[in-house]
Amino acid sequence: MDYSKQIQDIAAKLFAEGKIDVFVGYRMNGFDDNQVPVVINDPKEVPALVFTEKSVFNLSNYLKADHTRNKRVGLVVKGCDSRSLNLLLTESQVKRDNLYIIGIACEGVVDEKGQKMQNCIECIVPDAVVYDEMLGSPRGKKDYIVNADIAGLAVKGLVERREYFEEIFDNCIRCNACRHSCPLCYCAKCCIDQETATIYNGSNTASSAFHALMTWSLHLAGRCVDCRNCEKACPSHLPRIFCINRTRR
């Protein structure tokens, strides 16, 4: 899965025709084969754009940033990214007319060790659901696979489930990377930001983590599109933050 050339061509064309102000894509990080997201507003930077199976981060997250607000944006979306983008469109957070979306028929991305991401194994809609241009041949819908952790958690008793979550809250450092990496968390002020926290305290304790993560996941339950940007962003490698969302089914 390497669409670097096509994406560069499309981006260059869009800039040349004056259709976009900003392009959001990926570039190599410059020392190994991992990539970083990049927001470019200069056509000169277009040749740095790449897209391979290492393009992990969900770019629709950048649509809530200052750099792209009220601008015409071109961006690359995989299946999961396009689902979150679709939700942003549904909730009137971005204007469809302002976007030029390059959809990818995604074959799944890999982590730093080269292993396929768990959410890609479980992904049921790998093709972009909203796009102006599709790269790759569409793969169609796949069958729903129940995540082993969620299935295991669902049959556990209340006490065991509480222990499972308490372990997560104990290891949470309350940095809010999950909230800021979530493309659906577009609220300018969030009740789990420590400074605006009113219904619970903003301190860095396990009880605060409990309130924050639970409130956060309740707000996302039913909206979560399973891109797992939160999990990839978590510095404590807390497993399955999304799991809290999913267990509510």
Partner 1 sequence: MSFSTFVTDKDGLQKLYEAIISKHETYAPVEKFGKYDYKKVSSLKECDPDSPIAMTMSVKPLFFPRASKIMKYEATSAGTSIHETGQDQLSGPRVILGVKHCDARGLQVLEAVNKWDYIDSDFLNRRANTVIFSKRCDKADTQCFCTSLDYDLENLDALDVAVVSGPGGKVYLQARTEKGENFLKENLGKESAAGSQQALDEMKKQYEAFAASFRLKMDYKDVNEKMSKRFDSTAYEEATRNCVSCNTCAFICPTCHCFKISDEKIKDTGVRYKSYDSCNNVYFTLEAGGHNPRPAKYRRWRQRSMHKFVYYKERFGVNLCVGCGHCAISCPVNISIFEVVNHVAAAPMEV
**Is 7 a residue that touches partner 1 (CB under 8 A)?**
no
Residues 13-32: x where in contact with partner 1 by CB under 8 A, - otherwise, as a string: ----------------xxxx
The region of 92-100, 122-130, 191-199, 214-222 touching partner 1 under the rule CB under 8 A is 191-199
Give the residue with the Cβ less far from partner 1, 127 or 217.
217
Minimum distance between the CB of residue 23 and partner 1, rounded to whole angstroms? Answer: 12
Question: Considering the rule CB under 8 A, would residue 52 count as an interface residue with partner 1?
Answer: no
Closer CB to partner 1, 108 or 239, in the complex: 239
Strands 99-104 and 133-135: parallel
Q: Does 205 bind partner 1 (CB under 8 A)?
A: yes
Residues 222 and 247 sit within 8 Å (Cβ to Cβ): no
Q: What are phi and psi of 11, to 5 degrees?
A: -60, -45
Q: Which stretch binds partner 1 (CB under 8 A): 35-43, 88-96, 125-133, 149-157?
A: 35-43
- 61 near partner 1 (CB under 8 A): yes
C-alpha–C-alpha distance, residues 238 and 218, integer Å: 18
- Give the nearest distance from C-beta 155 to partner 1 in angstroms: 22
CA distances from 200 to 90, 191, 204 (A): 30, 9, 11
Among 55, 82, 217, 229, binds partner 1 (CB under 8 A): 229
Single out the residue of 17, 66, 97, 143 in contact with partner 1 (rule: CB under 8 A): 66
Of 179, 170, 153, nearest in space to 231 by CA: 179
Would you say 8 or 205 has its CB closer to partner 1? 205
Draw the binding track, 92-131, toward partner 1 (x: CB under 8 A; -: no contact). Answer: ----------------------------------------
Q: What is the contact mask toward partner 1 in residues 162 to 181, using x (rule: CB under 8 A)? A: -----x---x-xxxxx-xxx
Helix, strand, coil abundance in the chain, percent, nearest 5: 40, 15, 45
What's the start-to-end Cα distance of the chain, in Å?
Answer: 33
Q: Which helix (H) or strand (E) element contains residue 101?
A: strand 99-104
Give the torsion sign (CA, 8, 13, 16, 21). Answer: negative
The Cα diameter of the chain in Å comes to 61
Question: Is 142 in contact with 123 (CB distance < 8 Å)?
Answer: yes
Spatial contact of 76 and 60, defined as CB atoms under 8 Å apart:
no
**Interface residue list for partner 1 (CB under 8 A):** 29-32, 34, 36-39, 57, 61-62, 65-67, 167, 171, 173-177, 179-181, 193-197, 201-205, 207-208, 229, 232-233, 235-239
